[in-house]
Amino acid sequence: METKQWNPGQLLEISGYYWKTCTLHAGVKLDIFTVIGDEQLTAGEVVQKSGGDERGMAMLLNAFVAMELLTKTDDNRYANTPSAASLLSKNSPQYIGYMIMHHHHLVESWARLDQAVQTGKPVRTSASFGDAERRESFLMGMFNLAMSIAPELTRQTDLSGRHHLLDLGGGPGTYAIHFCMNNPGLRGTVYDLPSTRPFAEKTIAKFDLSDRVAFADGNYLEDGIDGEYDVAWLSHILHGEGPEDCQKIIQKAVDAMSPDGMIMIHDFILNDYKDGPLFPALFSLNMLLGTPGGHAYSEKEIVAMLAEAGISQIQRMDFQGPNDSGIMMGIKSAD
């Protein structure tokens, strides 16, 4: 196998890339792109609208010009590029700032990766259980991510003839919403922690689906799952738990399913050697930093867990999401 040849410049670029990361995080945290909107503003005018120091603001705005997120006129007025206006302004439905702020909240723990590797223990608390700002960034960041996947995925997934979907650990309910939108005979239940309910109900109401998508309070590790479902969707929850708890979660979902029910597991899936693709391998480290036993799982491991829970006809769906996410699916055996 031929290995990549590195030079000092390439390694130093990786080493210092967090400068760009922190610049982007600062701009989103200060809401610079929303403040500028569709105007052309000087650094002083941005400060008047948002607060701060004019000298520091000018440096930040100039950095965004260099990063091609802002443009600058000869008289020192700054404007959003089309991409920045679309993705980084809260006035846009394509806004991804919540996910960026979730990444911002992870930076401190990533700076202590060496400590986590040495101890094998997390160095941060779970984002979903944190303070209100972190919880909002996490949940709405999941909404940002799901909105980039769910509309097309749900159109391509055949759930005809199925009636009740379980969106386990579904957060704001984005997938349940889109599965129901594309399957008129389907209703959904989003099962998640009570603290998630306000975000989910607000999102469900936004899509005018409150009569078809319900929210059920529960902790999928500690509580049972009421009701009967003929399709279960588990998106990005297994990576937060160790193998024993993952098996428990899958078994609970399967136990709540009717015979011939379909289960789909969406996650960042490693190859069977666990040394790629790159993002799932890095994401395992993110789980090391924040959980006692979580990590990305290989396709082989997910297949084994599904089979142990009584699932047959297991296959990987023809889908590749952002950052190499994939979907494993199977059918609950009738006997």
Max CA-CA distance within the chain?
75
3-state SS assignment for residue 149: coil
Q: Residues of the chain whose pLDDT is less than 50?
A: 128-129
Check: CB of residue 246 under 8 Å from CB of residue 269.
no
In order of 146, 176, 229, 263, 282, the CA distances from 233 in angstroms are 13, 8, 10, 6, 24
Between CA 307 and CA 50 the distance in angstroms is 55
Residue 244, pLDDT score: 98
What is the DSSP secondary-structure string of 173-208?
-HHHHHHHHT-TT-EEEEEE-GGGHHHHHHHHHHTT
- How far apart CA 124 and CA 113 sit, in angstroms, is 11
Q: Does pTM surpass 0.75?
A: yes
Question: Residue 223 has what DSSP assignment?
Answer: S
**Closest by CA position to 104, among listed 80, 128, 129, 127:** 127
Radius of gyration of the chain (CA): 22
Residue 189 backbone dihedrals phi, psi, to 5 degrees: -130, 120
Question: What whole-number distance in Å separates Cα of residue 233 and Cα of residue 265?
Answer: 6
Q: Please state which architecture CATH assigns to domain 8-94.
A: Orthogonal Bundle (1.10)
Rounded CA-CA distance 84/100 in Å is 13
Question: 50: exposed, middle or buried (C-beta count within 10 Å: 0-12, 13-18, 19+)?
Answer: middle
What was the pLDDT predicted at 130?
56
Q: What is the DSSP string of 237-292?
A: -GGGS-HHHHHHHHHHHHHTEEEEEEEEEEEEEE-TTS--SHHHHHHHHHHHHH-S
**CATH annotation of 128-332:** 3.40.50.150
Look at residue 126 in the predicted model and tell me its pLDDT: 61
pLDDT digits 0-9 by tens, 131-180: 778 888 888 888 888 888 999 999 999 999 999 999 999 999 999 999 99
3-state SS class at 307: helix
The pLDDT assigned to 10 comes to 96
The domain spans of the chain are 8-94, 128-332
Q: What is the pLDDT of residue 133?
A: 80
| Residue in 203, 148, 149, 213 with CA at minimum distance from that of residue 181 | 213
Q: What would the DSSP string read from start to end of 14-61?
A: HHHTHHHHHHHHHHHHTTHHHHHTTS-B-HHHHHHHH-S-HHHHHHHH
Q: Cα–Cα distances in Å, from 129 out to 114, 138, 140, 149, 320?
A: 24, 10, 14, 25, 29
pLDDT of residue 169: 96
